[in-house]
Every structure is written in structure tokens, then in C-alpha cells.
């Protein structure tokens, strides 16, 4: 029986995890972030979010050492919860990864049209009042197919592409941070918060799960680790991705607000590029930032694409999704059918444009936090060591708090009816696609005793 290729090293895991987190949010949604928290509130929100997620990262690092299964959260929950709970845990987490794919396919057209306005000349149709342009659609489709072929032909190709994109993004980010430090002024940061400090930080903290989702993607590739790969290195890769990711987001907010008065940026798309272009009175900084945004888009798209395909593959292998998605290519040793399925589903989402995707992406934060909660709760129930259980309890409480901030009306920015509808539609879709495992079917891994 064919198995997935074992090719990945530590730097591959870091690039896949970090790249899955860092896309184009810092470019296309900076005005929203500043409007939520102000420069200091937003920066503190991301920094605090990164710290709060460290215990969750610890849980995933421990889980993957014991149970290296591409099903991730579904496999962990299956150790202590009924099959239905396990399935919907994984299905909810699949949303967090998959929805990024059509969103990034749409975003590449947005960024390209900012550089080349002629891309918006031919309007095909409208969805919820938002236009869908031919050139943008073709560009998003081309990128989707490219990543589909890349992932179809091998994890080594996908990981090398990811490392190249991650390295480029980080190098360009150093240049942008240096430009801000040399041309900005502290007075631009005032006022430091958009509202009271607590509300400002909380409003930002609500979106942290969506933008930080990705550090926990490393276990989805656990079955593709190079022979001799130490289990402790998963935790190192996860910790590095969390730390660098939180620092990236926090510093990006401060860099933009430091170089231009942040309130003047509210309501502007591509506020990051606008801020640098206005401060340096030249268009080349904006082009540099947009180029960095494209590289970030490529790495985020690829990372979420690969993770979504492996979750779908693992579902089929466990017998809870159609068996055809469990196929492994004999030559490339990739989950080829799952890759094709994610490619086609992304193309379908791309055709809808961005109007209908917004409510679903808001659900992404809840989906991620739900997966984190189930992973933490499951590990707490199987762990025997007191200190590890204490850290795991903190991870579960953090996850529960992040869920509450989206569902409880007492918190500002809680779910609207459109977001509830998007969540219900996704769960209904999962119910329709679910298959009952064949008798005697068991997970691929088994939990090791921690004592």
C-alpha cells in the first residue's frame, strides 16, 4: 500500500506553518485592524494573541509526537470522544484552512488590479452587488491551477516553493520596517487606541485566531517527515512559527502607523501601501509592498491548500469521507485525489467573488478556536503528568475564551446573523458528505502512554 512521501525537515515545517499564517491581511485589511484597536491596541492584540497561543502550540507539539496522523484534530478527538464529535471537529478545522484558498484566489486579482487598473475593464457579472471581472477571474484560476499542479507532483516541490516565498517575504519586511523607522514619526501613532485600551485590544484579539491559524498545520504533514526526524522538532517549528508570526503582525501595524497618521488611512483599501507611498512621496514603496503582498499571498495560499488537502485525505482514509479522496499517487506519493478536489472547490469559490466569502472568513476564527479547544481537551484527558496537564488546561481556557468572544453578545464584534448562517451551511454540508466508517476501521496511530 502506497504511503505519503517522507521528505520534510525542520525548516520545511517552519515555512509551511509560518506561511499558512502570513498572507495578505496586513496589506488589504490594515485599515480594519487600525480601526479596531488603533496602533498600540492592534499591536498589543496580536502580541498578546501570540503569547496566549503558546500553550496551544505546546499541546499540538505533544500530540504530534504521540499521534503523527494527518487528520490532526479529528484524530486527537477520536481518542476520547465519539466518532461524530471527532468528525465535526475535523470538518470545522477544514473550514479554517479551505476558506483561505478561494479568498486568496480572489485577493490576487485585487492586488494585481491595483497595479494594473486595466484588469478591471471587463465585468462578467455581479454577486451581492460586487463585480466579478474576467481578467481577475482568469488570474485567480491560473494561480489555483498552478498550486494544484505543484501539490499534485510532490510535497518536496510544495515545500521548496513555500521556503522561497517565506524567505522573500521576511527579507522584504525588513526593508519596509527600516523605511518606516527612518521616515516615520512617533506623533503619527496618536491616539494609541481606537477606544478604551481594553476594548481596543479585545476587538483585535477576536480576529487573531483567523490570522494566526497555521501554526497547528505542522501536524498535518507528520506522516511526511524525513526518516529520523525528531519528534521534539515539531514543537520547535510550531513555537518559531507562532513567535515570528505574532511579531510580524504586531510590527507591521506599528510600522504603518509610525510612517503615516493612522486615522487618515481608515476606509482605504491597501492602507499599508498608501501609507508608505504618501510618506515617501514616491510610488516605488507601494510597488515594493504590493510585491511583498503577492509573495505573502502565494505562501499563504499554498500552505492552506496543502493543509486542506491533507485533512480531506485523512478524512477519506478514516472512512468518514468518500474513499476516492484517500488515493495516493503511485509516482508522486501525494494525496492526489484530495489535491484535485481542493483545486476544483477553490475554483468554484473563486467564481463567487469576494462578496459571499466575507461572512465565511469571519467564521474562520471560530473554526480555528474550536479545533484548538478540542485538541487541548483531548490531550488533557489522556495526559498523566501534572505540569503538562496544567499547561493544557490553560490552552483549553484560552481556546474557550476566543470562542466566547465570537459567540457571546456581551463581547463587541460577536457573530452576526450572516456569520451564523455561514457556519450552519458549512455544518450542513459536512453532514451531507459524512460517511460512517466501515466496521473494524481504526485510526492510523495510537496514543503512547506519557508515564
Rounded to whole angstroms, the Cα distance separating 219 from 261 reads: 41
342 part of a folded domain: yes
251 part of a folded domain: yes
pLDDT value of position 25: 84
Q: How many CB atoms lie within 10 A of CB 141?
A: 17
pLDDT value of position 1: 56
- pLDDT confidence band for 114 (50 / 70 / 90): confident
* Mean pLDDT to the nearest integer, 406-432: 81
Domain count of the chain?
1
pTM: 0.88
pLDDT value of position 447: 46
* Mean pLDDT to the nearest integer, 317-337: 90
Rounded to whole angstroms, the Cα distance separating 111 from 89 reads: 34
pLDDT at 443 over 60: no
Position with higher pLDDT, 130 vs 307: 307
- pLDDT confidence band for 113 (50 / 70 / 90): confident
Q: How many CB atoms lie within 10 A of CB 427?
A: 14
**Please, what is the average pLDDT of the chain?**
88
Query: Which residue range is the domain that position 56 belongs to?
Result: 10-433
How is residue 305 written as a grid cell? Answer: 491548500
CATH of the domain at 332: 1.20.1740.10
pLDDT value of position 444: 46
45 part of a folded domain: yes
pLDDT at 359 over 70: no
448 part of a folded domain: no
pLDDT value of position 442: 44
Pick from 46-55, 68-77, 320-329, 419-428: least confident: 419-428
* Mean pLDDT to the nearest integer, 360-389: 87
pLDDT tens per residue, range 15-32: 999 999 998 889 888 999
Non-local CB neighbours of 136 within 8 Å, separated by 6+ positions: 106, 109, 110, 112, 113, 119, 120
442 part of a folded domain: no
pLDDT tens per residue, range 286-313: 889 999 999 999 999 999 999 999 999 9
pLDDT value of position 127: 84
pLDDT value of position 393: 95
pLDDT at 285 over 50: yes
pLDDT value of position 431: 85
Residue with cell 520596517: 177
2 part of a folded domain: no
445 part of a folded domain: no
In DSSP terms, which residues pair with 123 in a beta bridge? Answer: 133
426 part of a folded domain: yes
pLDDT value of position 440: 43
pLDDT tens per residue, range 258-278: 999 999 999 887 899 999 999
Closest residue by Cα to residue 25 from 250, 180, 308, 353: 250
* Mean pLDDT to the nearest integer, 403-428: 81
- How does 302-333 read in b/e, with b if 16+ C-beta sit within 10 Å? bbbbbbbbbbbbbbbbbbbbeeebbbbbeebb
pLDDT at 228 over 60: yes
pLDDT at 436 over 80: no
Amino acid at each position: 500500500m502506497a504511503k505519503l512521501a517522507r521528505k520534510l525537515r525542520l525548516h520545511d515545517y517552519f515555512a509551511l506553518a509560518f506561511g499558512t499564517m502570513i498572507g495578505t491581511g496586513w496589506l488589504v485589511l490594515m485599515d480594519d485592524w487600525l480601526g479596531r484597536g488603533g496602533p498600540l491596541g492592534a499591536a498589543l492584540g496580536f502580541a498578546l494573541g501570540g503569547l496566549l497561543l503558546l500553550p496551544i502550540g505546546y499541546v499540538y507539539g505533544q500530540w504530534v509526537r504521540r499521534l503523527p496522523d494527518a487528520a490532526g484534530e479529528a484524530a486527537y478527538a477520536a481518542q476520547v470522544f465519539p466518532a461524530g464529535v471527532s468528525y465535526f471537529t475535523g470538518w470545522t478545522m477544514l473550514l479554517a484552512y479551505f476558506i483561505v484558498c478561494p479568498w486568496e484566489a480572489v485577493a490576487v486579482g485585487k492586488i494585481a488590479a491595483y497595479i494594473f487598473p486595466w484588469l478591471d475593464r471587463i465585468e462578467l457579472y455581479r454577486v451581492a452587488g460586487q463585480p466579478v471581472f474576467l481578467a481577475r477571474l482568469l488570474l485567480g484560476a491560473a494561480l489555483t491551477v498552478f498550486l494544484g499542479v505543484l501539490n499534485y507532483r510532490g510535497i518536496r516541490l510544495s515545500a521548496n516553493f513555500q521556503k522561497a516565498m517565506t524567505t522573500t517575504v521576511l527579507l522584504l519586511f525588513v526593508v519596509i520596517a527600516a523605511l518606516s523607522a527612518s521616515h516615520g514619526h512617533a506623533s503619527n501613532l496618536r491616539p494609541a487606541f481606537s477606544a478604551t485600551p481594553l476594548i481596543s485590544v479585545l476587538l483585535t484579539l477576536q480576529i487573531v485566531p483567523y490570522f494566526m491559524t497555521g501554526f497547528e498545520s505542522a501536524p498535518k504533514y507528520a506522516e511526511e517527515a524525513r526518516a529520523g526526524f525528531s519528534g521534539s522538532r515539531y514543537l520547535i517549528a510550531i513555537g518559531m512559527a507562532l513567535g515570528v508570526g505574532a511579531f510580524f503582525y504586531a510590527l507591521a501595524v506599528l510600522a504603518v502607523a509610525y510612517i503615516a497618521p493612522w486615522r487618515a488611512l481608515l476606509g482605504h483599501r491597501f492602507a499599508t501601501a498608501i501609507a508608505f507611498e504618501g510618506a515617501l512621496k514616491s510610488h516605488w514603496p507601494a510597488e515594493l509592498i504590493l510585491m511583498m503582498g503577492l509573495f505573502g499571498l502565494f505562501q499563504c495560499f499554498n500552505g492552506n491548500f496543502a493543509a486542506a488537502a491533507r485533512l480531506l485525505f485523512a478524512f477519506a482514509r478514516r472512512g468518514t469521507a468518500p474513499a476516492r479522496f484517500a488515493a495516493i499517487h503511485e509516482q508522486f506519493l501525494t494525496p492526489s485525489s484530495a489535491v484535485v478536489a481542493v483545486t476544483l472547490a477553490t475554483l468554484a469559490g473563486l467564481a463567487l467573488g469576494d462578496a459571499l466569502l466575507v461572512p465565511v472568513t469571519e467564521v474562520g476564527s471560530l473554526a480555528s478556536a474550536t479545533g484548538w479547544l478540542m485538541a487541548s481537551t483531548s490531550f488533557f484527558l489522556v495526559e498523566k503528568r501534572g505540569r503538562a496537564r496544567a499547561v493544557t488546561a490553560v490552552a483549553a481556557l484560552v481556546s474557550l475564551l476566543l470562542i466566547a468572544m465570537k459567540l457571546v453578545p456581551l463581547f463587541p464584534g460577536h457573530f452576526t446573523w450572516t456569520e451564523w448562517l455561514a457556519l450552519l451551511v458549512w455544518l450542513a454540508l459536512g453532514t451531507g458528505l459524512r460517511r460512517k466508517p466501515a466496521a473494524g476501521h481504526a485510526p492510523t496511530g495510537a496514543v503512547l502512554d506519557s508515564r
